[in-house]
Copies of this chain bind each other. A is one copy, B any other.
Amino acid sequence: MTTRDDCLALDARDPLAALREDFALPEGLIYLDGNSLGARPKAALERARQVVAEEWGDGLVGSWNSAGWRGLPERLGNQLARLIGAGEDEVVVTDTTSINLFKVLVAALRVQALRDPSRKVIVTERSNFPTDIYMAEGLADMLQQGYSLRLVDSPEALPGALGSDTAVVLVTQVNYKTGYLHDIGALTALAHECGALTIWDLCHSAGAVPIDLKASGADYAIGCTYKYLNGGPGSPAFVWVSPALREQVWQPLSGWWGHARQFGMEPRYEPAPGIGRYLCGTQPITSLAMVECGLATFARTDMQALREKSLALTDLFIEQVQARCGRHPLTLVTPLEHARRGSHVSFEHPEGYAVIQALIDRGVIGDYREPRIMRFGFTPLYTRFTDAWDAARILAEVLDGETWRDERFLARKQVT
């Protein structure tokens, strides 16, 4: 079994170890929640100061041009593209994941309406992140055109749920609860074989696992920038559309930023050529500008190196927890198979909420998801092997000592 000295050695020879210096992490904290909110790049503070003091304060309205605010969604999209296997001028950073999902879902249904109007079913997982299901539900309800959702109960059930009635398959590549990792290429191929289009939600995978949207034949992708991409709290989301589909239809949130001539002030909408048509309204510039600081660190490494470290970290954490906590009612819900595992590890525990609170009290920041799921995210940019080892040790102490039974930890409040 791995010792702490082994972990010290692993950290010492970790080729990615220096990347941690890009981040402002509080002393003494083991932060295993970068899969919910990424840590702060040190550069983000200076970037915020620059945007607020100089660009807004001094440059005022002229900064839309002089500071390049107007082009930020496209510029950031190009920086993000290489992390997800998208091409130049194929991604924009804008709005929220929910809103971007709405755009691509309507677009996909419109493409299908041109190809085969009888396809009316949106297939997704019951365990998909709720907002994805809610947005699809809201859309189907609004359209009143016979669209419906088909929710499947496991990743393995997805292929069998596809048929001649399927318009779109909407899948989150890494499941937010279990950490299950889908194969974009394989599922897209199956979907295409039966005539369906695919929408990939990359919230829990962008910046965590290698993704090659173009090589895998995907049709649409969306995702957030505030998890593994370290863009800052609620930083705007991204959207990618296969160039083969992009100009076939409008997206429905046809605001002025997506117009072919934004400042033409014309009374009719005409979508911009290219991915710019997926923009809608004026973007929150300070939050948007900091996304660049998160992306900058990725330029110093590559996704394959990050993936190797991520798997080594999650392997280590699983090994340590299973070895130390065998007598407690912990159930690993994350796949052991590398090809099926994202970059976070989840265990079920009947009192998972209280255990997570007790861990946070000990300086190990994981999070909790209903029902009973304790999540631990391993962000290879800044998580050390010793962090994984120490977190498992402290989890064992919390469970062995039953410190989670404290009233403070049992009393529920909303967890993010």
Contacts and interface: CB of A to CB of B under 8 A. Distances in A.
A365 B365 CA distance: 49
Contact of A250 (B64, B131, B141, B254): B141
Nearest to A291: B284
B65 A99 contact: no
The number of times this chain is found in the oligomer is: 2
Given A49-B48, A290-B52, A234 B40 contact: no
A365 B61 contact: yes
B280 A99 contact: yes
Nearest to A94: B96
Interface in A375-410: none
Given A24-B57, A60-B31, A284 B282 contact: no
Given A130-B266, A285-B233, A367-B61, A143 B141 contact: no
B280 A96 contact: yes
A115 interface: no
A233 B284 CA distance: 6
Interface string A174-209: 000100000000000000000000000000000000
A286 B234 CA distance: 8
Contacts of A134: 254-256, 259, 269
A99 B281 contact: yes
A252 B62 contact: no
A300 to B, nearest CB: 20
A170 interface: no
B95 A96 contact: yes
A121 to B, nearest CB: 17
B52 A40 contact: yes
A18 to B, nearest CB: 19
B280 A288 contact: no
A229 to B, nearest CB: 13
Contacts of A255: 96, 98-99, 131, 134-135
A332 interface: no
A236 B285 CA distance: 10
Q: Please indicate which of the listed interface residues A29, A135, A224 has the most CB atoms of chain B within 10 Å of its own CB.
A: A135
Q: Which 7 A-B pairs have the closest CB atoms?
A: A96-B281, A138-B254, A284-B287, A98-B281, A98-B255, A64-B416, A233-B285
10 contacts: A26-B60, A36-B61, A48-B51, A48-B52, A52-B232, A130-B267, A131-B256, A131-B281, A134-B259, A262-B414
Interface of A: 24, 26, 29, 31, 33, 36-37, 39-40, 44-45, 48-49, 51-53, 55-58, 60-65, 69-70, 95-99, 102, 106, 126, 129-131, 133-135, 137-139, 141-145, 151, 177, 224, 226, 232-237, 250, 252-257, 259, 262-269, 280-288, 290, 360, 365, 367, 369-371, 413-416
